[in-house]
Structure 1
């Protein structure tokens, strides 16, 4: 009988069809071991070769023998790949939609357009490029500002691959493009409670690297309970920085925290630039209208001292009310009063933050020098439903207006729950980065806690 001819093809990097998606995944797994490939993937390919050979041999004995051989061989293939039988390129269905985009990635390799001694050459801390935490975050922000499109095959103008691991390679200033299977070699594993800006949260799935594997850059806590943090990540459609549940939306328990071995201490700069960055930049660098790197650094230091609950979306270069409130809370925590606790940093406030002096900002509701008020207890979800009328609805509405989320009110907040309340709550929830049922417009304990933080 005639043996069918199989034609190989190169899958398009952005084609959503099931066939191309499967081929991209297999190509990613087809890396040699020295370049970060997985033994499990190589075992799967060997099984695939055996199955193909068996199928051709059995085909000479007739249709019945061919079908029997295929039925006997396919389970072995599924076991080797640890993922069940492989879908046919011609019949594979498109993968089901997930809450967050998948992040397939390329292999270890040099920077695009530049020679390299080989992938993953820098494995010793003595040969790593030194970089400060502030510089890591600033490098990460460049791609956020540029909205670099996600791609596992394309490279940005700086030579780094436009996927999640290429993004971390860029932020850490590595001399090549790494992937989730090799990034851990450049860092030291730490506890999640010890995370600081510039560290990473890494999930690597060795059995199928392109199924769930992902890495984010930790940008600081957004709340005092450490339930959410600012995640800098490269994902579809482009680079983003947003409030993210610890450790991630999917596979949260599998994420491991790592600290780059070449990072210089604390939130300060490298030894070469410590004097310049540690000096107080001047009162003109802060206050209404200010927008510069000093405001970002102030916010990051305040988050590190317990001020994360004042930020909805994390510290940034533009001075805002969150910066003033966090600064004032830190000043009051030191027992300062009056003009010394006006929410605008002076030389003493800056020195205390840079050198790690004084007391941290107390948790919300704690009785401290700042006299922080305890937020009202969440009254329960049943208070906020159609037809309900009570004082809690009024309190919720007034707080929404106070926080800048009252644009759907026509006549102002009142005791009767209505569509305007729901839409304003939804706007606030979406501002936290929540989607789906987490942003349905009905307040729960977490919405209430953040709204009254």
Structure 2
């Protein structure tokens, strides 16, 4: 068994987590303040308090002595789980690249337009920091001159030539829809009322499967740069994250994705009996993303089928359309709603996924990814847990299952997913439409 990772905690260090920043500030303003209920390094608060008391009493602590190693909440997180409800990512502001040994560098020379780059180059630069295990810091700069926080990471990957922050990165990008996301784009959340409360930015590395509920995120977050399967748009504040595409992408890449052709209705002939093309696949993926995953036992794929018609009809009815406007064949309005992310999603209980009496019709409707995430509490979590027990994947439960989503539920789902032969992001312990269908089949 691999030994757990510990870090030594030194109160006099330059650790940049919110807790340590607060304690250093508190120590300067009021050395006698010993409140220990704030964030930072919870396991080290006892050691911290002892050191503050010693300092207040005039005790000299020798430089050669260190505090015994304690578990730090900067330590590695379990893959697939958020390190906290809010990403602990305070950040620096806009500024130039830094020169050798962390000294301020000269502002970049004026260049007309943005530096041109490609998606492959963006991801490659991100992976350089991952390979180097660049530690998180809002005040330190890596050897390439970029600040070692979340916004500095994206500034580096986009090769901006300056250190930006979440309040300025948007001017280097163009907003895109969720459906248009491609590797190298960013997902940005800037909280203008309190930029250090939740504000964060990550690089999009691609969807983990056809349901488009999880994606690979490249990000700079304590303790270091990482790559992780992440629920769309993020673990917390999900509705506030906005997708952007770098304006300096080479022209041929812009034309390949996200252009006007990618949003235009391909025509009625692309859909219906006998149709087989990439537009059918795209339609199916858009429908799955809007709650239509329960209609598909396989796919979506390029061959038009009854699953496509039923899912399209369910989406149309969700908008309140009837008659010929809800015939299951996508027209220009249906297409515009799907591509633009407009209208209402397909309700979990709407429609019938298959012929009455068939095996698929006995599968309860998939309730959506939002039912299974940290902090969720609902009847679907209980239903899922009971099915895991029934299928022989409930060994992790010491009580329950119950309505509150927890690590026990996630580990049970992960075990089931691995039993299907899935690995990586497809076996992260969070049930998508295909996991749900197989579990209840």
Instruction: Give the TM-score of the pair, scaled to structure 2.
Output: 0.47
Larger Rg: 1
Instruction: Give the TM-score of the pair, scaled to structure 1.
Output: 0.46
